Structure 1
Amino acid sequence: MKYIQHLLLLLLSGFFLFLGCGSESNSSNESNSKQEVVLGKITLDNVWARPGSQQGKSAAYLRISNGTAAADTLLSFHSNAAESVELHESIEHDDGTTSMQPAGQQIIQDGEKLLLQPGGLHLMLINLNRDITVDDSLQISLEFARVGTVTTTAPVQIQN
């Protein structure tokens, strides 16, 4: 009888030890999966740029869609056609005139879009290193805090 009690106690101890290890491992897996962020894609579409002359300026427009699982911040820009690229915002004043000013970093929430369009936010291509004409194209790279650099080709065209 004592032998059976010891065997039963040993089996129960082993069973509880097994359950304890199993639940510990499950809880660590659950916490890892909750911390893991699945990255989708940042997509760029409706991309185009205005014509411009060498050493002059141009503007580029596009739609940025954040298809990732987290907000991302647009940090910087580059183009193979310009010395520098800045994010600007068009402002309409009370007297009907418009001007541009640099825009700060843009945070794009997950599932959201940021539209760069004439009369609003846009990329200023400053000090063009060549003439860019209709039917030409140029590359634009956008650097994001989370997903890194995304590059696209912008056809040069007149606004429709």
Structure 2
Amino acid sequence: MKYLPQLLLILLSGCFLFLGCGSESNSSNDSNSKQEVVLGKIALDNGWARPGSQQAKSAAYLRISNGTASPDTVLSFSSDIAESVELHESIENNDGTTSMRPAGQQVIKDGDKLLLEPGGLHLMLINLTQDLAVGDSLQLSIDFARVGTKNITVPIQIQN
């Protein structure tokens, strides 16, 4: 019995320590949810763009691989050689013709890939600020909700 007050003191101290750590951890997660650690990386590769003339349009293609532990959303695209860059998708109409329409933001699940390729999703480079000739290259910037901005330099080439 003479050790009972000391044992109670140790148990109460442990409980307060445990509760204090738990509440600090929760408030930290609530206020910094955008700054979570992202394991892995977003990879951009296999990029290329079509030739084009100043003040006209061109198209760019690439593969975006989400090697992180969580989904990420592609928010926007930009390039210093185009007034705007939009994600479009090619669609086949009922009469057999094809057309394009804006595709909107895309969510890439963890471990998944987003393919931008001819005949599917692709980037439209609108109102080029310079001519794009085979052998040139251009830089694309891609803004993601979780990992921020990623850049890729792609060559100008004719489709293989």
Aligned-pair CA distance for 1:22: 4.5
> Structure 1, residues 3-39: CA drift from partner, whole Å, max 9, x if none?
xx4x412221122123323543564587678x88431
CA distance in 2 between partners of 1:90 and 1:105 (Å) = 15
**DSSP-derived class of the 1:11 partner:** helix
Q: In structure 2, what residue type is equivalent to 1:117? A: E
SS where residue 62 of structure 1 aligns? strand
Partner of 1:49: 49
**1:52 positional shift:** 0.6
What residue in structure 2 maps to residue 38 of structure 1? 37
Aligned to 2:13: 18
* TM-score of the aligned structures, taking structure 1 as reference length: 0.85
Q: Distance in 1 between matches of 2:36 and 2:69?
A: 6
Q: Which amino acid aligns with 1:17?
A: L
Q: How does 1:11-160 map to 2 (within 5 A)?
A: 11-24=6-19, 27=22, 37-39=36-38, 40-160=40-160
Aligned residues: 154
Deviation at 1:68, TM superposition (A): 1.9
Give the CA RMSD over aligned residues: 2.2
Structure possessing the higher radius of gyration over alpha carbons:
1
Please say which of residues 61-70 and 9-18 is displaced more in the overlay.
Answer: 9-18
Partner deviation per Cα, 1:118-158 (whole Å, 9 max, x = no partner): 00000000111111111100000011112111111011111
2:112 maps to a residue whose letter is E
| Alpha-carbon distance between aligned partners in 1 of 2:101 and 2:142, rounded to the nearest angstrom | 19
| Counterpart Cα distance in 2 of 1:146 and 1:12 | 47
Amino acid at match of 2:7: L
Give the distance between the partners of 1:70 and 1:76, measured in 2 at CA.
19
Asked if the contact 1:38–1:69 (Cα under 8 Å) also holds between the matched residues in 2, the reply is: no
Provide the C-alpha distance between the structure 2 equivalents of 1:48 and 1:41, rounded to a whole number of angstroms: 21
